[in-house]
Structure 1
Amino acid sequence: MRRIPNFVLLRAFEATARLQSFTLAAEELHLTQSAISHQVKELEDYFGRLLLIRRNRRVEVTPEGARLQESLGRVFDVIEAACNEVALSPTAQVLVLHSAPSFAAKWLGPRLPQFMNTHPDITIRFSSGAEPIDMTRAREIDATISYGFAQERPGVITVPLGAERIVPLCAPSLLRDGIGADRLIGELTLIDSQLSRITWPDWFAHNGIPLPARPRPSFDRAALVLSAAVDGMGVALESTRLAERELAQGDLVELGADVFKPLARETHFFSYRANERNVDKVRRFRKWLFGEAGIAPDFAPS
C-alpha cells in the first residue's frame, strides 16, 4: 500500500500553490475558499510543517512547499496526459519518445509535424534529456535517440543514425575579404561544445594545425553553441545535421569547406526494444525516421 496523503489534499495544495491564492484555487476546483484552506491545513498537519505562508491577499510557498509543488506539477501533468489518452479512439496509438535535447530541438522537432500529418492515428509524447535512458527499466518509453555513444543493453536494438559531418561554422559577418580560412581559424574565437565527441584539440590535430592557446567560451548544448555562433560570438565546431536550418537560411556558413580535412562521426543512436520491433507504432516511426536520416531500410535490424 502506498504511503501518500489523500489525493484531494494534494490537489488543493497544488492549485493553491500554483495560483498563489485560496480564492482562485477554490474557483478552479469548484469548492469554497474555506474548504480549500482546511484541506491545505490538513496536509500541513500530515507532514508536520508549513507548506504555505499566508499573506493578506495571497499565499507564498515555503521551501518544503516549493519542492512538493514542483513534484506534484509533474505528476499531475502525467495523470492528465494519461486521462487524455483514455479518450482516444480505439484505433489510436500513443508513441512515447525520448531524445537528446539538441537533436530534439534542431532536427527531430521540426520534422515531427510531417510524421504526425502522415500518421494521424499516432499521438506523440515527447521528452528530452542529456542522460541516456535505460530502456530495460523505463518501460513507459517506446524509443529513444541518444547522443555520444551507442548504449548496448540486452534486449534493446540500437542503430546509428548515420555519420554526421563535424565542421567549423560561423556567422557570415565574421568572414573577411582577402583572409583565408586557415588564417581566420587561428584568429577568431573558438566556441567549445562541452558534450561533443569531437573537440577543438581533436579537430586541429586532425588538420595538422597548432591549437591557439587562448581561452574558449563553452556551452553544454549544441543548440546553445549554434545560437552563439549565429550571434557572432565565434566559430562553432558542430554537426551540419543540427545546423541545417541555420546553413539553409544563411545564418551560418561552413568555414574552410575546401581547405580543411573532412571529419565525420556517428553521434546519434536510435534504440527500441527487440520484442517490440514489430509493434505498429514503433515500426512506422522507425521506417519514417530512417527515411528522414537517409538510412537504407535494410540497414536496421528487423
Structure 2
Amino acid sequence: MRRLPNFVLLRAFEAAARLESFTLAANELHLTQSAISHQVRELEDYFGRKLFERRNRRVEPTLEGRRLLESLSRVFDVIEAACNEVSLAPQSQVLAVYSAPSLAAKWLGPRLPLFMQAHPDITIRLTSGADPVDLTVARETDIAITYGTAHQRAGVIVVPLGAERIVPLCSPRLLAPDTPIQTQIHTLPLIDSQLSPVKWPDWFVANGMVCPKRPRASFDRGALALSAAVDGMGVALESTRLAERELARGELVTPGEEVFAPITREIHFLAYRRNEAHLHKVGAFLNWLLVQARLNQAEPE
C-alpha cells in the first residue's frame, strides 16, 4: 500500500495553490469554496503543518506548500498525458523517444513532421537529456538516441547513427577574404564544445598544427556552441549534422574546407529493446530514422 493522502485532497490543494484562490479553485472543480477550504484543512492536518498563508482575498502557499505544488504539478501533468493517450483512437499508438538535447533541437525535431505525415497513426512523445538511458530500467521509453555512448545491456540493440564530420564552423562575417585561412585559424577566437569527443587540440594535431594557447569560450551543449558561432563569437568545432540548417542558410560556413582535414566520428547511438522491434510504432520509426541518418552520413576516415 502506498502511503498517500486522499487524491481528492491533493487535487483541491493543487488547484488552490496554482490559482492562489479557494474561490477560483472551487469554480474549476465545481465545488463550493467551503468544500475547498475543508479539504485543504484536512490535508494540512494530515501533514501536521500549514500549507497556505491566508491573505485578504487570496491565499499564498507556504514554503512547504510551494514544494508540494511543484511536485504535484509534474505528477498531474503525467497523469493528464497518460489519460489523453488512453483516449486516443483505437488504432493510434504513442511512441516515447528520448534524445540527446542538441540532436533533438537541431536535427531530429525538424525532421519529425516528415515522420508524422508518413505515420499519422503514431504520436511522438519526445523528451531529451544529456545522460544515456538504460532501457532495461526506463520502461516508459521506447527508443533512445544518446550522445557519445550508450548503455550496452542484454536484450538491448545499440546501433550507431553513422559517422559525422566534425569541422570548424563560423559565421562568414568573421573571415577575412584576403588572408589565408591557415593564418586566420591561429588568431580567430575558438569555441569549446565541452561534451564533444573531438577537441581543438585533436583537430590541430590532425592538421599538423599547434593549438593556440589562449582562453576559449566554452559551452556544455553543441547547440549552444553553434548558436554562439552564428552570433560571431568565434569558431566552433562541431558536427555538420547538428549544423545542417545553419549551413544551408549560410549562417555558418566551414573555413578551409578544401584545406583542412575533417575528423569523422560515430557520436550518436540509437538503442531499442530487441523484443519490441516487431511493434509497428517501433519498427516504423527505426526504419525511418536510419534512412534519415544515411542521407547525411559522413564518409569514414
Judged with a 3 Å threshold, the aligned counterparts in structure 2 of structure 1 residues 48 and 180 are, in CA distance, closer, same or farther, namely farther
Does the Cα contact within 8 Å between 1:204 and 1:210 map onto a contact in 2? yes
Instruction: Give 1:16 shift.
Output: 2.1
- Residues 136-193 of structure 1 deviation map (CA, whole Å, 9 limit, x = unaligned): 0111111110000132111100000000100111111101121122222211211111
Does the Cα contact within 8 Å between 2:132 and 2:150 map onto a contact in 1? no
SS in 2 for 1:96: strand
Q: Is 1:227–2:227 an aligned residue pair?
A: yes
Between stretches 86-95 and 57-66, larger displacement belongs to: 57-66
Residue identity opposite 2:211 in structure 1 = L
SS in 2 for 1:253: coil
- Residues 33-88 of structure 1 deviation map (CA, whole Å, 9 limit, x = unaligned): 23222222222221222333332233333332222222211111111111111111
Residue identity opposite 2:32 in structure 1 = T
- Residues 105-148 of structure 1 deviation map (CA, whole Å, 9 limit, x = unaligned): 11111111111111011111111111111100111111110000
Does the Cα contact within 8 Å between 1:150 and 1:160 map onto a contact in 2? no
Where do 5+ consecutive residues of structure 2 fail to align? 296-301
SS in 2 for 1:150: coil
SS in 1 for 2:150: coil
Instruction: Tell me how far apart the structure 1 counterparts of residues 48 and 180 of structure 2 sit (CA, whole Å).
Output: 69
Does the Cα contact within 8 Å between 2:132 and 2:149 map onto a contact in 1? no
Q: Is 1:108–2:108 an aligned residue pair?
A: yes
Judged with a 3 Å threshold, the aligned counterparts in structure 2 of structure 1 residues 255 and 37 are, in CA distance, closer, same or farther, namely farther
Between stretches 183-192 and 240-249, larger displacement belongs to: 183-192
Q: Is 1:208–2:208 an aligned residue pair?
A: yes
Judged with a 3 Å threshold, the aligned counterparts in structure 2 of structure 1 residues 208 and 54 are, in CA distance, closer, same or farther, namely farther
Between stretches 182-191 and 164-173, larger displacement belongs to: 182-191
Q: Is 1:65–2:82 an aligned residue pair?
A: no
Between stretches 156-165 and 179-188, larger displacement belongs to: 179-188
Instruction: Give 1:251 shift.
Output: 0.8
Q: Is 1:247–2:247 an aligned residue pair?
A: yes
Instruction: Give 1:28 shift.
Output: 1.7
Query: What count of residue pairs does the alignment treat as equivalent?
Result: 296
Residue in 1 that maps onto 2:160: 160
RMSD: 1.6
Judged with a 3 Å threshold, the aligned counterparts in structure 2 of structure 1 residues 200 and 61 are, in CA distance, closer, same or farther, namely farther
Residue in 2 that maps onto 1:21: 21
Judged with a 3 Å threshold, the aligned counterparts in structure 2 of structure 1 residues 9 and 257 are, in CA distance, closer, same or farther, namely same
Between stretches 104-113 and 43-52, larger displacement belongs to: 43-52
Instruction: Tell me how far apart the structure 2 counterparts of residues 173 and 93 of structure 1 sit (CA, whole Å).
Output: 47
SS in 2 for 1:186: coil
- Residues 198-220 of structure 1 deviation map (CA, whole Å, 9 limit, x = unaligned): 11122122222211111111111
Residue in 2 that maps onto 1:299: none
Between stretches 273-282 and 34-43, larger displacement belongs to: 34-43
Instruction: Give 1:281 shift.
Output: 0.8
Residue identity opposite 2:147 in structure 1 = Y
Residue in 2 that maps onto 1:183: 183
Residue in 1 that maps onto 2:274: 274
Judged with a 3 Å threshold, the aligned counterparts in structure 2 of structure 1 residues 38 and 180 are, in CA distance, closer, same or farther, namely farther
SS in 1 for 2:123: strand
Residue in 2 that maps onto 1:98: 98
Between stretches 78-87 and 36-45, larger displacement belongs to: 36-45
Does the Cα contact within 8 Å between 2:98 and 2:127 map onto a contact in 1? yes
Instruction: Tell me how far apart the structure 2 counterparts of residues 180 and 14 of structure 1 sit (CA, whole Å).
Output: 63
Instruction: Give 1:92 shift.
Output: 1.3
Instruction: Tell me how far apart the structure 1 counterparts of residues 72 and 170 of structure 2 sit (CA, whole Å).
Output: 43
Instruction: Tell me how far apart the structure 1 counterparts of residues 53 and 102 of structure 2 sit (CA, whole Å).
Output: 39
Q: Is 1:293–2:293 an aligned residue pair?
A: yes
Residue identity opposite 2:292 in structure 1 = E
Instruction: Give 1:20 shift.
Output: 2.5
Residue identity opposite 2:68 in structure 1 = L
Q: TM-score w.r.t. structure 2 length?
A: 0.94
Between stretches 207-216 and 233-242, larger displacement belongs to: 207-216
Does the Cα contact within 8 Å between 2:169 and 2:253 map onto a contact in 1? yes
Q: TM-score w.r.t. structure 1 length?
A: 0.93
